[in-house]
Structure formats: C-alpha cells, structure tokens
C-alpha cells in the first residue's frame, strides 16, 4: 500500500482532534472520514464529556459523515483514526461500508495507557455460555415476528 502526503495530512488531523480532546477533558482519540480527497467529518472521543460509552471518535465521525452526506452507506470513504479501532468502532466501520482504515497508535499502545480492548476480542471467541457477561435467549418465537414483518415488507430499504 502506497501512503501519500495527503494520507499523512488526514492522519495528522485525526491526531490533532485526539490531542484537542485530551486538552478539553475527553479521551485521547480522534478520527476523520474522507471521501474524494476531502474531509467529510471529523470528531474526537467524547465518552466522558457526553456520558455516552458509544461516543468513540470513529463512531462520532461516522455519525457526522452520514448526516452530512445524507446516507447510512459510506462506501467510497476512508477513516483515518489516531488509534487502531476497538471492536465496537470496527463493527461500525464495517456496517458503514467504509473502504479503508488508516490508524496511528495500535492496540498495544492503547493497552499501555489503560485502554484495553483485548478482553472483548477474547470474549467474542468464547461460546455464549462461557462469556463473562450473561447472554440469555428469551422469547425468540415472539421476537421472530419483527423478522417476519421485515421479510414480507416490499418497500424496505436494505442495508
């Protein structure tokens, strides 16, 4: 993969957002979403500022990019993030259909400052009945009704 000067510019913006976040009392993470050589959206981690455990930089940037572009599909976009995405952010990136991820710090760097996501990766490899967090099936037959409704819906927007 050939890294360009423009890639470095976008990554430096993600890093700047992370640094500014720390100065404002947020977490040390920043991300930008780029399409066609333009930053569509950028954001920092605001978990503690917003009292929202899902307010990671990548998720915030994805939400802002979707709002700006008026779509939930970010095909053709790239994410530049100051740190390798956690499992939640990685899932959001896949769901958004983003084409590529560039990251600065890696998982080990994050773990070294007490942002450890390895336990989540480990949990996902375990069978449901062996996970730390109980995951208990309940009322599946009733819950299937919404899936039947979805399947029969002729005007649905697939995603």
**87 CB burial (10 A radius; 0-12, 13-18, 19+):** middle
In angstroms, the CA 42 to CA 61 distance is 5
Q: Phi first, then psi: give them for residue 81, nearest 5 degrees.
A: -130, 140
In angstroms, the CA 17 to CA 21 distance is 6
As annotated, the active-site residues are 58
3-state helix, strand, coil in the chain (%, to 5): 45, 15, 35
Parallel/antiparallel/unpaired status of strands 77-83 and 30-35: antiparallel
Q: Are 58 and 85 in contact (CB under 8 A)?
A: yes
Enter the DSSP assignment of 85: P
């Amino acid at each position: 993969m050939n890294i360009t000067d423009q890639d470095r510019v976008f990554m430096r913006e993600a890093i700047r957002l992370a640094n500014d976040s720390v100065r404002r009392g947020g977490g040390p993470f920043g991300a930008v979403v780029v399409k066609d050589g333009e930053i569509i959206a950028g954001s920092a981690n605001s978990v503690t500022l917003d009292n929202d455990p899902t307010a990671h930089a990548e998720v915030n940037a994805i939400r802002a990019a979707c709002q700006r572009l008026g779509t939930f599909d970010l095909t053709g976009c790239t994410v530049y993030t100051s740190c390798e995405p956690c499992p939640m952010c990685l899932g959001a990136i896949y769901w958004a259909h983003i084409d590529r991820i560039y990251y600065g710090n890696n998982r080990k760097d994050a773990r070294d400052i007490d942002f450890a996501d390895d336990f989540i990766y480990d949990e996902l490899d375990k069978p449901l009945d062996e996970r730390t967090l109980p995951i208990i099936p309940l009322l599946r037959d009733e819950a299937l009704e919404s899936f039947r409704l979805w399947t029969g819906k002729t005007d649905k927007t697939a995603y």
